[in-house]
Structure 1
Amino acid sequence: MSLAGKTLLRRYRVVRPLGRGALATVYLAFDPFGAPYALKVFPRGAGGRRDRELWVGRRLAHPNLNPVLAPLDLEEGPALLLAYAPGEELGRWTLRRPGRGRALRVFHQLLAALAHMHGRGLVHRDVKPENVIVAGTDEARLVDFDLSGPALEAFKRPLRVGTLPYLAPEQVLGRSPGPEADLYAAGVVLYWLLSGEHPFVGEPEEVLLGHLRQPAPPIPGLAPREQAYLERLLAKSPKERFPSAKEALEAFPF
């Protein structure tokens, strides 16, 4: 059921949905002074996911990461009050044909956001275009931290966390991801920005096997340094990738 048109906690007027994920729905809301917010509402029983995102968000402060402001307890379920990130998802933004230079500047901001997270011992675990919001000024913010957590966090059992086209090989195998997994996903995003395609496509099993075993097809026209950089991001072994986004940012050749 949509919350559009409702006023929650006698304070936040919900206008419309901004996006729906596998678990939560994000709405645009305004306070009595007209300030915009994003309101992320989880289903009842998903308080743990809400609290995880709050825990991660409170440890982050960077212009390319969207702030997590406060927890809210609504009749509809646990919720988070987030800063409103103006703009559109990276995938929709690219439909405007921004050109290679602008797209690479946005990718550079994604690396900067990840470098901040990795520097605090955290990993995003779900880097993908849908989680990058680009404003009309080309300023980008990484959003959605409900799958995020400490690097190499111990899982009770093998757990595949992330989104299929962007899964690092170790995530395919259900291992706890470190910063290198975020960089693999970022490498898939970069490949897509440069070529308009994902490196591995087909049925789910084909994509999973591609992540595990197949090299990404070369992109025509890349300079050797650019191709080598992309191949390092997409290396099958985490040890062959950059150890964190800080190093990937410093080596950025584009």
Structure 2
Amino acid sequence: MKLLIWLLMLAPWTAGHCEAPAAATTAFNAYATRVEARLAEQHRSANGFVATVGSKDQTDVRLRKGELIIEKLTPTGEAELSGAMLHDWRGAAFVRGATLGDFERLMKNFDTYPQRFSPQVTQARILTKQGGADSSHFTVLMRVRQHHVITVVMDTTYDVTFGRLDAQHAHSISRSTRISEIGSAGTPKERTLSGSEEHGFLWRLNTYWSCEERDGGLYMEIESVSLTRSIPAGLGWVIRPFVESVPRESLEFTLHAVCNALRK
């Protein structure tokens, strides 16, 4: 009965015919530019390269004890856009014994993503790369599967770059360049939905990593900024917790998967 009530309440939100409003896309791009400017400044120096390391509240001590720290960064006044919602979440973790080299090899090995990030990533392949064996710039196509009451499958293309400040500090940026919802995935009727048919579960997704090798292991910080459709008027009280849980749980899942892979 509870599931049926949820499905009935979600029905207006999951209906199709939903394209990203131009104004919301512009606002997302402006917000992402500010985030990237903040991170670029943060990555210019070893001091404060990872925001949670060396902070006054001793967050790094909690991380070394094995705690994952997840926090919402979305400014209250900017979460609601015209016909869309902006989400900004950050997570941090520490893996004892891991190195920057381990992290870079793991994250650049896109062919293993379906195993490392199952069941969310079902397919992954490199479309282009620059720099040969030591490439730091990739264009990657991934098929992702999200299941939260309903299941959504999307083909996503990302522009991914990796960089280093020095031997102990590294960062990466992944920007979505195309996200297409797939209808009837895995069946003979599979097809890419048109913009007017999509449901707006995910319109944009940028992911930023900051890593520091220190204290006998690797501190990692991941920040994800995403854009989804807005919530119909009058349904916020029931749908908002569901909508806001998706980007948080996706970030937490990714951080857990990376930690587990590095420990192995």
TM category (shorter chain) comes to: under 0.3
TM-score, normalization by structure 2: 0.22
Which structure has more relative contact order (CA 8 Å, sep 6+)? It is 2
Which structure carries more strand by proportion? 2
